[in-house]
Structure 1
Amino acid sequence: MTGFVAAIAVELVRGDDLVAQLANGGLPWFMENSVILSLASLAPLFKGISVKSKSDGVMASGAEMWNGRLAMLV
C-alpha cells in the first residue's frame, strides 16, 4: 500500500507513470523500502511478543481474522 501511494504521489508531482518511475531507478528504492518495512513489521515477533499476548477485547485476534475476511468480501 505504501508503494502504491508513493507511486501515485510521484506521478501527480512529476507526471511520470509507473513504468517511467521504475526505469529511472525506482525499482531499487522500492525493494529497499519493502525490506525495511517488512523487517519493521516483524520486529515485535523477533522480540518474542506474540499476537495472543497483545490481543484482548474488541481487538482480539479472532475478531481481527473475521474482520479481515469480511473486508476481502466487500
Structure 2
Amino acid sequence: MLNYDHEQKQVSTKFSDVLAFSGPAPERINRRLVMIGFVTAIAVEIAKGQDVFAQIADEGIPWFLFSSIVLSVASLIPLFQGVSVESKSQSFMSSDAELWNGRFAMLGLVALALTEYLKGGALV
C-alpha cells in the first residue's frame, strides 16, 4: 500500500538546485509540456486534419513558446517557495502518476510524429 505524506516538505530553493540537471524542475516542466503537447496535437489533428508537422508550421511555434513560458513559471513558483511536489500528492493525483503519464506522453508524441512521417500525412 502506498503511503502519501501530506505535510509540506521543505526543499532547497536555490536557483542552481531547482534548475539543476537532476533537480526537481527540468523533468517536471518537460513532462507537463509534453502532456499538453500530445493532447493538443491529437485534438488539432482530429479537428483540422493536420499532422504534427503541419501544426508546427501553422502557428505552432508561437503557441509552443507561450505554453512553455506559462507552464514553466507556474511550475517554478511552488519550487522556489520550497514546496515539494510529493508533499502535494494525493492518492489519485500523485507525483508518481504525473511522472508515468509524462513519460507515456513523450513516447506517444514521438510515436505519433514517426507514424505520420512514415505514413506521409495525418494519422486520423
Q: State the TM-score, normalized to the length of structure 1.
A: 0.62
Would you say 1:6 and 2:40 are equivalent positions?
yes
State which of 39, 59, 62 in structure 2 corresponds to 1:28. Answer: 62
How well do the aligned residues superpose, as a CA RMSD in angstroms? Answer: 2.7
Give the gaps of 5 or more residues in structure 1: 59-63
Determine the C-alpha separation between the residues in 1 that align with 2:45 and 2:84.
39
Q: Given the superposition, is the C-alpha separation of residues 45 and 18 from structure 1 closer, same or farther in structure 2, using an over 3 Å criterion? A: same
In structure 2, the partner of 1:61 is none
11 and 49 in structure 1: CA distance in 2 versus 1, 3 angstrom threshold = same
Alpha-carbon distance in 2 for matches of 1:47, 1:38: 14
Aligned residues: 60
Greater RCO (CA < 8 Å, at least 6 residues apart): 2
Structure 2: runs of 5+ lacking an equivalent: 1-34, 104-124
**Runs of 4+ off more than 3 Å:** none
TM-score by length of structure 2 reads 0.40
CA drift of 1:37 comes to 0.7
Identify which range, 42-51 or 10-19, moves more after superposition. 42-51
